[in-house]
Amino acid sequence: MPSMKIIDLRSDTITLPTDEMRKAMYEAELGDDVLREDPTVKRLEELAAEMMGKETALFTPSGTMSNLIGVLVNTRPGDEIIVGSEAHMLWYEVGGASALGGVVIRTVPNEPDGRLDPDIVAQTIRGDNIHFPPTTLLCLENTHNRCGGAVLTPEYTSTIARIAHERGLRVHLDGARIFNAAVALGVPARKLAEPVDTLGFCLSKGLSAPVGSLFCSTRECVEKARKWRKMLGGGMRQAGVIAAAGIVALEKMVERLAEDHANARRFAEGLSSIPGITVNLERVQTNIVNFEFPSNVADFVPRAAARGVKFNSRGGRWVRAVTNRMVSAGDIDEALGRLEKLVREAG
Ligand SMILES: Cc1ncc(COP(=O)(O)O)c(C=O)c1O
């Protein structure tokens, strides 16, 4: 019996490097990057800065470290930062901003479309008062992971950043999937980065590189970031070996994100025709599909996994699917067929 193909929709982080990336890694010109002597890392950083319209960039091991550095360079211990109630920085970054940055995290409810209401943000920023910690940083996320890959537009980003800047705050963008937003909107990523002071974006998600993230900002800010990265243990020596894959990711893998978006839509539309599955099609903007499985199917996620379709549970009956380069349109149809059968047999 032929083995069943595993269709892995847990995350776009499962993507493996392409053959072109592996070749570039093998051939990469290397040096000691802590001594600023790795030409491949320098090329990646220049390319990233250029694509984000920022003065310069710093290669970090992960999106989590880029976000933590965003807090460290923009605040002082005892400051207060504003983040969305569904932000990755709040949920999944081990509380690093508080533990290592010493900041108070204040949340503003995320709208289902990933935005923070500008009026609520304005009300949340503290005035000068002997009792209050100073509010010094606003953090945004684009695309928004827990809000189902929702896209923030350049117009919204400008509006909310202006409110923060007028009150003396800095703005950091968790742009782990900023290229998904750029491709979905049909705008260059730099348009989405333009209003913010600092941002991090990931190479190791939909772009398929094995490791890494870029922190982008002014030269002055990135100099500080470089020192923080060293303190955090993120100074990497012959890092060009992984940066080489990152260059391929930025040069060759951005446009194809549209395929992941089309597959997410195909999947969501297919799910919506399976009785008992709930999915809000309007919310499917990029490569993430949040859906609710039928109440009569207990243990949906492990049962789907037993049929070779892997998801991440979002708690309760909510499930997250993330399309990625390892999953084709044919795989999406195959997954839908297996899920339809699972639900039918359970009913
Ligand atoms: C929105 C968002 N920000 C940050 C990260 C952190 O990236 P990393 O896993 O590279 O630390 C992720 C990872 O899934 C993410 O989805």
Q: What is 309-322 written as a DSSP string?
A: EE-EEEETTEEEEE
- Please tell me the predicted confidence (pLDDT) of residue 295: 87
What is the Å distance from ligand 1's center to 137 Cα? 19
Tokens for 226, please give them. Answer: 């470089």
| Pairwise CA distance, residues 231 & 228, whole Å | 5
The verdict on the CB of residue 176 being under 6 Å from ligand 1 is: yes
Start-to-end C-alpha separation, the chain:
28
- Please tell me the predicted confidence (pLDDT) of residue 176: 98
**Kindly report the CA angle at 110 between 79 and 138, in degrees rounded to 5?**
25
Of ligand 1's atoms, which has the minimum distance to the CA of residue 67?
4
Total H helices, total E strands in the chain = 14, 13
What is the Å distance from ligand 1's center to 23 Cα? 26
The verdict on the CB of residue 213 being under 6 Å from ligand 1 is: yes
Centre a 10 Å sphere on the Cβ of residue 172 and count the other Cβ atoms it contains. 29
Q: Which residue has the tokens 């059968």?
A: 341
The verdict on the CB of residue 143 being under 6 Å from ligand 1 is: no
The residue type of 237 is: R
Of ligand 1's atoms, which has the minimum distance to the CA of residue 11?
14
Query: Measuring CA to CA, which residue among 224, 144, 221, 219 is closest to residue 176?
Result: 144
| Pairwise CA distance, residues 88 & 172, whole Å | 13
The verdict on the CB of residue 86 being under 6 Å from ligand 1 is: no
The verdict on the CB of residue 202 being under 6 Å from ligand 1 is: yes
Q: Whose CA is nearest to atom 7 of ligand 1?
A: 63
What is the Å distance from ligand 1's center to 343 Cα? 32
pLDDT along the chain (347 residues), means of 10: 88 98 98 98 98 98 98 98 98 98 98 98 97 98 98 98 98 98 98 98 98 98 98 98 98 98 98 95 97 89 96 93 98 98 89
What is the Å distance from ligand 1's center to 337 Cα? 30
Q: Which residue has the tokens 């949920």?
A: 91
The verdict on the CB of residue 18 being under 6 Å from ligand 1 is: no
Of ligand 1's atoms, which has the minimum distance to the CA of residue 177?
1
Check if the beta carbon of residue 8 is closer than 8 Å to that of residue 14: yes
Centre a 10 Å sphere on the Cβ of residue 301 and count the other Cβ atoms it contains. 18
Check if the beta carbon of residue 24 is closer than 8 Å to that of residue 247: yes
Check if the beta carbon of residue 240 is closer than 8 Å to that of residue 40: yes
Check if the beta carbon of residue 221 is closer than 8 Å to that of residue 73: yes
The verdict on the CB of residue 88 being under 6 Å from ligand 1 is: yes
pTM for this model (two decimals):
0.97
What is the Å distance from ligand 1's center to 183 Cα? 19
Identify the H or E element spanning 198.
strand 198-202
Query: Measuring CA to CA, which residue among 242, 226, 233, 243 is closest to residue 69?
Result: 226
Q: Whose CA is nearest to atom 4 of ligand 1?
A: 63
What is the Å distance from ligand 1's center to 143 Cα? 11
The verdict on the CB of residue 62 being under 6 Å from ligand 1 is: yes
What is the Å distance from ligand 1's center to 197 Cα? 19
| Pairwise CA distance, residues 15 & 308, whole Å | 17
| Pairwise CA distance, residues 96 & 100, whole Å | 5
What is the Å distance from ligand 1's center to 66 Cα? 9
- Please tell me the predicted confidence (pLDDT) of residue 298: 84
The residue type of 129 is: N
* Of 145, 211, 214, best ligand 1 pocket probe by most atoms within 8 Å of the beta carbon: 145
Q: What is the DSSP letter of 13?
A: G
Task: Report how far Cα 274 is from the mean position of its chain's Cα atoms.
Answer: 29
- Please tell me the predicted confidence (pLDDT) of residue 1: 54
Centre a 10 Å sphere on the Cβ of residue 220 and count the other Cβ atoms it contains. 11
Of ligand 1's atoms, which has the minimum distance to the CA of residue 144?
1
The verdict on the CB of residue 141 being under 6 Å from ligand 1 is: yes
The verdict on the CB of residue 272 being under 6 Å from ligand 1 is: no
